[in-house]
Each structure stands twice: as C-alpha cells, then as structure tokens.
Amino acid sequence: MIKFFVLFTFFVYSVNANFWSGCFDLPNAIIPTEITSDQCSDTKCIIKRGEPLMGHVAFTFLKEHEYLKVAVKGTMYGTKIDLYDFKENICDMIYDKDDNFFGCPTETDVESGWKLKFRISSIFPAYSNAVLRFELKEENNTEVCFEIIADVL
C-alpha cells in the first residue's frame, strides 16, 4: 500500500510537471500564484543537506495578519516527518511584489511575497523526490500552503 501511495504521489507530481503545488487537502489555505528558486527546475528542486533552499513565494492574503510562523514537513516513503516548526514571527520576511519590505500587519488583496530560506538539516537522509510541505500559519490556522518536490543530496 505504501508503495502505491508513493508511486501515485510521484505520478501526480510528474503529470503536473511543476516542482511545486498547492496543498489541496487544506481548501481554506491560500495557494501561491508563483514560486521561484534558482535551485529548482521545472520538475524538482536540488537541495544539499546543511545548505538553505532559497526562493520567493508570491501570494495574496485574504485577511490581515499580525503574526505568522512557518511549519515544514517532509514525506519520504509515504511517512510524514516534522522538519521545522518556527515559533518566531516571520513577518520580517514578507515583501511586496517589487521586493520592498512589507511586514505585518499584512494587507488584504495586495500581492505579497515570502523570501523563502529553509535549511535542510544534515541529519535528514539523502533522498530523491522528497515532498516538502511549507505552511505559513497564524496560531493554528494554515494561511498559505504549498509543497515542493526535491532531491535532497
């Protein structure tokens, strides 16, 4: 069953031919309009353990936020692993579409962006086609969610 799930997940991502997708199991979470990174091709990202994945995530908030944190989960062999739960406010990483500091409180219906910088721990095993899930949260509510496919070297 686990093999089927892994193969099915890989198939879904390959058909989309994109290194990222929204979190469709969270219908109230915002799906980014664009994600860019020099470490990513059309189909996946290459991340070296101990080094950061850097990029830009564009989205439009539907409400104001005073506080945002990030949670990151990884999926390998069909098993979800908590990789990171950033307790501090990440509002200093929110920018407008012209790359000017935006911060919090966020504004509704204004294109914003998050400067993604996530370091994969060196204890994370090397793995091809890992699914990394990023959630921007306010308290326990996921406001923005996306997943990327990555080869972790």
Residue holding tokens 């990394």?
132
Beta carbons of 56 and 115 less than 8 angstroms apart: yes
Considering the four listed CATH numbers 3.40.50.620, 2.130.10.10, 2.60.40.2380, 2.60.40.770, the one that applies to the domain covering 2-152 is 2.60.40.770
List Cβ neighbours of 93 (8 Å cut-off, separation of 6 or more): 114, 115, 117
pLDDT tier for residue 24 given thresholds of 50, 70 and 90: very high
Task: Compute and round to an integer the Cα radius of gyration of the chain.
Answer: 15
**For residue 66, which of 30, 106, 96, 93 has the smallest C-alpha distance?**
106
Whether the CA torsion 46, 130, 67, 23 is positive or negative: it is positive
Q: What is the pLDDT of residue 76?
A: 82
Go through the chain and tell me how many residues it has.
153
Give 4's pLDDT tier (boundaries 50, 70, 90). very low
| pLDDT at 149 exceeding the cut of 60 | yes
Please give the span between the terminal C-alpha atoms of the chain, in angstroms, as a whole number: 27
* Rounded Cα distance, 79 and 75, in Å: 5
Q: Are strands 45-47 and 141-152 parallel, antiparallel or unpaired?
A: parallel
pTM: 0.83
Omega before residue 105 within 30° of 0, cis: yes
Q: Where are the domains of the chain?
A: 2-152
Q: Return the DSSP state at 40.
A: B
Averaged confidence pLDDT in the chain? 85
pLDDT for residue 2? 54
Examine the pLDDT at 39 and tell me if it is beyond 60. yes
